[in-house]
Amino acid sequence: MKNMRSYLKSLSVKLPDAAKRLWHGSLPEYLISSADLGAALIYMKYWALNCLTIGKYMIEMNLRLGPAGSIRTLIRNPWLFTLLKVNGLMRRYGRGRTGLYLESVCMAVNSVVTGNIDMLRQMFHHPERMVINEDLVPVDIIHAMGLDAYLLEGMGIMLPIVDPESATKYIDVAENEGMNPDACSLPKTTVGMVIKGHLPKGIAMVSSNLPCDAGAASYTFIERAYGIPTYRLDVPYDFTNERAENLFMEDVSAMIAWLEERTPGRMDWDRFREICENRNRILELELELWDMIRLRPAPLASEAVWLSHLWNVNVTPDYKESVRHFEKIVTLARRNIETGTPATVNERYRTVVWNPPFLNFSDIFNWAERTYGLTVINDSMTYHHHTPINTSTPETMLRGWCRTVMQGPMVRHTRGPAENYLDDIFRMVRQFDLDMVWVANHVGCKGGQAMNGILREKCREKGIPLLVLDYDLSDPRIVSHDNMKRQVEHFMDNVMKAKRIDQ
Partner 1 sequence: MNDEKQRVMKVFRELLEDPQNRLVDQAAGSGRIPVGYSCSFVPEPLLMADRLFPVRLHATGVAGTEIADNYLSSLVCSYTRSLLEFAMDERYDRIRGFVFVPSCAHMQRLIDNLDYLKRPGFRHVIDVPRKRCDFTLKWQEEELHMLADKLSSHFGVDTSDAALMKAIDEWNHFSGAVRAIGELRKRRSPPITGVEFHHVVMASLASPKDLILPYVEELHRKIRHEEGAGNFRARLMLVGGHLHDPDFIRIIESQGGLVVADRFCTGSILGLMPVQVDGDPFRALAEHTFEKTLCPRMMEDFDRRLKAIMDTVKEYKVDGVVLEIIKFCDLWGVDSMPLVNELRKEGIPVLKLEREYRLGGEGQLRTRVQAFIESMGR
Query: For residues 377 and 350, is the Cβ–Cβ distance under 8 A?
Result: yes
Fill in the DSSP letter of residue 267: -
Q: Answer yes or no whether residue 268 interacts with partner 1 by CB under 8 A.
A: no
| Closest alpha carbon to 388 in 273, 292, 279, 242 | 279
Given the complex with partner 1, which of 25 and 447 has the nearer CB atom?
447
Cα–Cα distance for residue pair 492/43, rounded to 1 Å: 31
Query: For residues 466 and 491, is the Cβ–Cβ distance under 8 A?
Result: no
**Given phi > 0 = left and psi -120 to 50 = alpha, else beta, which region is 437?**
beta
Q: Answer yes or no whether residue 474 interacts with partner 1 by CB under 8 A.
A: no
Least Å distance between CB 238 and partner 1? 5
Q: Which residue stretch of 280-288, 428-436, 450-458, 483-491 sits at the interface with partner 1 (rule: CB under 8 A)?
A: 450-458
Q: Answer yes or no whether residue 465 interacts with partner 1 by CB under 8 A.
A: no
Q: How many residues bind partner 1 (CB under 8 A)?
A: 44
Cα–Cα distance for residue pair 209/17, rounded to 1 Å: 43
Among 145, 216, 256, 313, binds partner 1 (CB under 8 A): 216
Least Å distance between CB 28 and partner 1? 45
Cα–Cα distance for residue pair 309/319, rounded to 1 Å: 13
Q: Answer yes or no whether residue 217 interacts with partner 1 by CB under 8 A.
A: yes
Q: Is 471 helix (H, G, I), strand (E, B) or coil?
A: strand
Least Å distance between CB 132 and partner 1? 15
- Alpha-carbon distances, residue 45 vs 62, 141, 172, 310, 341 (angstroms): 26, 35, 38, 23, 22
Q: Answer yes or no whether residue 451 interacts with partner 1 by CB under 8 A.
A: yes
Given the complex with partner 1, which of 272 and 421 has the nearer CB atom?
421
Least Å distance between CB 114 and partner 1? 34
| Closest alpha carbon to 448 in 479, 425, 482 | 425
Among 46, 79, 150, 221, binds partner 1 (CB under 8 A): 221
Least Å distance between CB 226 and partner 1? 12
Q: Answer yes or no whether residue 212 interacts with partner 1 by CB under 8 A.
A: yes
Least Å distance between CB 480 and partner 1? 19
Among 296, 446, 481, 485, binds partner 1 (CB under 8 A): 446
Q: Answer yes or no whether residue 250 interacts with partner 1 by CB under 8 A.
A: yes
Q: Where are the beta strands (DSSP E) in 451-497?
A: 466-471
Least Å distance between CB 259 and partner 1? 16
Tell the burial category of 343 from Cβ atoms under 10 Å away from its Cβ (0-12, 13-18, 19+). Answer: buried
Pairing verdict, β 349-354 and 204-208: unpaired
Among 8, 19, 71, 454, binds partner 1 (CB under 8 A): 454
Q: Answer yes or no whether residue 200 interacts with partner 1 by CB under 8 A.
A: no
Among 25, 88, 229, 236, binds partner 1 (CB under 8 A): 236
Q: Which residue stretch of 111-119, 278-286, 351-359, 441-449 sits at the interface with partner 1 (rule: CB under 8 A)?
A: 441-449
Given the complex with partner 1, which of 267 and 443 has the nearer CB atom?
443
Q: Which of residues 171-190 bind partner 1 (CB under 8 A)?
A: 177-180, 182-184, 187
Q: Which residue stretch of 121-129, 250-258, 332-340, 403-411 sits at the interface with partner 1 (rule: CB under 8 A)?
A: 250-258
Given the complex with partner 1, which of 260 and 321 has the nearer CB atom?
260
Backbone angles phi, psi at 251, to 5 degrees: -65, -45
- Alpha-carbon distances, residue 358 vs 164, 200, 296, 439, 479 (angstroms): 10, 27, 25, 10, 11
Q: Answer yes or no whether residue 471 interacts with partner 1 by CB under 8 A.
A: no
Chain-centre distance for alpha carbon 129? 25
Q: Answer yes or no whether residue 228 interacts with partner 1 by CB under 8 A.
A: no
Backbone angles phi, psi at 372, to 5 degrees: -125, 0
Q: Is 59 helix (H, G, I), strand (E, B) or coil?
A: helix
Q: Which residue stretch of 36-44, 86-94, 218-226, 426-434 sits at the interface with partner 1 (rule: CB under 8 A)?
A: 218-226
- Alpha-carbon distances, residue 177 vs 153, 165, 218, 223 (angstroms): 18, 20, 12, 15
Q: Which residues bind partner 1 (CB under 8 A)?
A: 177-180, 182-184, 187, 191, 207, 209, 212-214, 216-221, 224, 232, 234, 236-238, 243-244, 247, 250-251, 254, 414, 417-418, 443, 446-447, 449-454
